[in-house]
Amino acid sequence: MSGNSMGLLFTVTSFGESHGPGIGCIVDGCPPGMALSEADIQAELDRRKPGTSRHVTQRREPDTVEILSGVYEGKTTGTPIALLIRNTDQRSKDYGNIADTFRPGHADYTYWHKYGIRDPRGGGRSSARETAVRVAAGAIAKKWLHEQYGIVIRGHMTQIGDIAIPFRSWDEVGNNPFFAADASKVDELEAYMDSIRKSLDSVGARLRVVADNVPVGWGEPVYDRLDADIAYAMMNINAVKGVEIGAGFGCVTQRGSEHGDELTPEGFASNHAGGILGGISTGQQIDVSIAIKPTSSIAQPRRSINKAGEAIMVETHGRHDPCVGIRATPIAEAMLALVLIDHALRHRAQCGDVHVDTPRIPGRIG
């Protein structure tokens, strides 16, 4: 409970540093009897893997996952599933010169004051490398949610720096290095990212992640609301600075007559709520957006201090994503899956046998 576990009933406990022996997690609470193999998890890991295009870090990590427990003859047994990803491309020397300084925008200063000790190699525990673990755990959650309920969780980038990316089709997301749902924007994005990289700078991003086919009735009433747990999950992703559900900040200028989604026998007339009312799912699409800050590691000189408190200049060379937001899409999907499976299990516990005659209306009118 010291900030490395998430979930009440489907609990992921994570470990590992960027340049230690490995990273991994224990997934406790996965229901028994689901087919699961390392390949199922690897497929999701490969979507987040570094080195897949020139627009992301060139660190070469195969990110190969090993299942250490909890699966017998290809099926989950209901006991903890331990996952291990060995670190292979560690190059500690890249980081030696930063052990006594605090990089702007990084957790160096805060870790140092909190713990009094800091693993400076690649950011140690604060490295975004840890997010591979979430993608691995999320792959298990995603699979279960899909098999049990037909739930589909998908994400796409909606903005990179100054360039907005419209939604055209889910089919396009997997075919470009930007998780863009509009392939016609890819050339522009490539040129834009190249210019950012050449200017030794980085840029922020915005992405959207949605879940379809979530049943009505998941969530809690006061705390642990479904939207609150989603906001918690998203803000736990490195570099995220904002979270929106449905209309998000757009609701500030809406009128109640516009925002409140009307119900009809044929379905909801709109989805400004983003699929959640009173902390509980409506059966509409769960719709989440997040803002991701620009990469803090840039090769420009920046002011900082050292451990003695003296003024210094810092430049961070190395293999950094110029836009950390790009690889965040599979991470955000994973986090949404982890929240949903936890609430799926909570719902079975508390209200699993509830039945009402009222029909469940469809998500959206035709």
Which amino acids are annotated as binding site, given as ranges? Answer: 48, 54, 125-127, 238-239, 278, 293-297, 319
Q: Determine which helix (DSSP H) or strand (DSSP E) holds 155, and give its type and residue range.
A: strand 152-160
Q: Which is nearer to its own copies, 97 or 175 (CB)?
A: 97
Asked if residues 179 and 326 have their Cβ atoms less than 8 Å apart, the reply is yes
Question: Is 167 near its own copies (CB under 8 A)?
Answer: no
Q: Which is nearer to its own copies, 39 or 171 (CB)?
A: 39
Question: Is 213 near its own copies (CB under 8 A)?
Answer: no
List the strands of the sheet with 22-28, edge to edge: 5-6, 11-16, 22-28, 81-86, 65-67
Question: Is 114 near its own copies (CB under 8 A)?
Answer: yes
Q: How would you class 209 by CB atoms within 10 Å of its CB: exposed for 0-12, middle for 13-18, buried for 19 or more? A: buried
For the annotated binding site for NADP(+), the residues are: 48, 54
Query: From the list 135, 298, 328, 336, which residue makes contact with its own copies (rule: CB under 8 A)?
Result: 298
In the stretch 229-268, what mask flags binding to its own copies with x, by CB under 8 A?
Answer: xxxxxxxx-x-xxxxxxxxxxxxxxxxxxxxxxxxxx---
Distance CA 266, CA 263 (A): 8
Q: Which is nearer to its own copies, 66 or 175 (CB)?
A: 66
Stretch that binds its own copies, among 47-55, 137-145, 184-192, 341-349 (CB under 8 A): 341-349
Question: Is 329 near its own copies (CB under 8 A)?
Answer: no
Asked if residues 31 and 76 have their Cβ atoms less than 8 Å apart, the reply is yes
Report DSSP state, residue 107. S
Residue with tokens 């922020």: 204
- Considering only residues 116 to 135 of the shown chain, the ones binding its own copies according to CB under 8 A are 116-119, 124-126, 130
Instruction: Tell me, rounded to whole angstroms, the distance of Cα 319 from its chain centroid.
Output: 21
For the bound state, the minimum distance from the C-beta of residue 205 to its own copies, rounded and expressed in Å, comes to 6
For the annotated binding site for FMN, the residues are: 125-127, 238-239, 278, 293-297, 319
- Considering only residues 39 to 98 of the shown chain, the ones binding its own copies according to CB under 8 A are 66-70, 72, 75-82, 84
Distance CA 193, CA 190 (A): 5
